[in-house]
């Protein structure tokens, strides 16, 4: 049995969001094909994702200096413990499905905050004398990204910093099996429904082998 983190980063619902509509089809088809796997839905807009603020940085600093967890302030304890729980959940999973829109050529800030939380030395990567190496080899990831224009290829490709960023982060973690489903060109009202239907059908097929 595999554990899948279904990570969504859109404040609306599947009826209003292209990325969530495709993600919903993917995860439903995945569950049908893999009924014994555990799927954990992490809605970034409902999760408590602490920012790297003064409490976090000071708390980590105190722990590195040799102080015990009990010697942290209440705010430091709460945030540091939450960060630890998030990254431990991430490391324990076998597969990751990210679902997000492209905003300003990149991912939503709440998803960026989540990647910050999961990029922890000793958890998802480690430093060596030859440089950092990832610790999550053998795992798989998929990114479903919706955008108004086409960015995966063509003249706007150089502006695409959503999937390309996430892809680099996942490779940094040691994950080599990374796929993408692009739901592109949705700003065209004449073609939006066709684009959505094709992406949903594609997602259903990808889910059977993911």
Q: Is 17 annotated as a binding residue?
A: yes
List the structure tokens of 49.
């994702």
Q: Is 104 annotated as a binding residue?
A: yes
The CATH homologous superfamily to which domain 3-43+86-208 belongs is: Flavodoxin domain (3.40.50.360)
> What residues have CB less than 8 Å from 194, skipping those under 6 apart?
none
Q: Is 161 annotated as a binding residue?
A: no
Q: Where exactly are the structural domains of the chain?
A: 3-43+86-208
The answer to pTM > 0.75 is: yes
The H-or-E segment that residue 28 falls in is: helix 18-33
The DSSP symbol for 33 reads H
CA dist 169 and 152 (Å) reads 18
Strands 177-184 and 140-147: parallel
- Evaluated on CA atoms 188, 189, 191, 195, the torsion sign reads positive
Residue with tokens 């999550």: 136
Q: Is 105 annotated as a binding residue?
A: yes
**Cα→Cα distances 106→51, 103, 110, 163, Å:** 19, 5, 12, 8
CA dist 99 and 24 (Å) reads 9
CA dist 80 and 76 (Å) reads 6
Map residue 57 onto helix, strand or coil: helix
Each residue's pLDDT expressed in tens, for the chain with a length of 210 residues: 999 999 999 999 999 999 999 999 999 999 999 999 999 999 999 999 999 999 999 999 999 999 999 999 999 999 999 999 999 999 999 999 999 999 999 999 999 999 999 999 999 999 999 999 999 999 999 999 999 999 999 999 999 999 999 999 999 999 999 999 999 999 988 899 999 999 999 999 999 999
């Amino acid at each position: 049995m595999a554990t899948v983190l279904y990570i969504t980063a859109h404040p609306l619902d599947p009826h209003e969001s292209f990325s969530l509509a495709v993600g919903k089809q993917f995860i439903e088809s995945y569950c049908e094909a893999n009924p014994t796997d555990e799927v954990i839905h992490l809605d970034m807009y409902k999760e408590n994702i602490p920012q790297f603020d003064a409490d976090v940085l000071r708390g980590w600093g105190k722990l590195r200096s040799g102080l015990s967890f009990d010697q942290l302030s209440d705010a430091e304890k709460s945030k540091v413990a939450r960060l630890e729980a998030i990254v431990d959940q991430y490391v324990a999973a076998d597969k990751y499905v990210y679902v997000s829109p492209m905003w300003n050529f990149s991912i939503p800030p709440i998803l960026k905050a989540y990647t910050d939380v999961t990029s922890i030395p000793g958890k998802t990567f480690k430093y060596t004398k030859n440089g950092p190496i990832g610790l999550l080899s053998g795992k798989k990831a998929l990114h479903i990204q919706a955008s108004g224009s086409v960015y995966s290829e063509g003249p706007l490709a150089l502006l695409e910093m959503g999937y390309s960023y996430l892809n680099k982060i996942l490779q940094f973690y040691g994950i080599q099996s990374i796929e993408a489903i692009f739901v592109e060109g949705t700003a065209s009202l004449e073609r939006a429904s066709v684009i959505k239907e094709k992406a949903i059908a594609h997602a259903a097929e990808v889910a059977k082998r993911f």
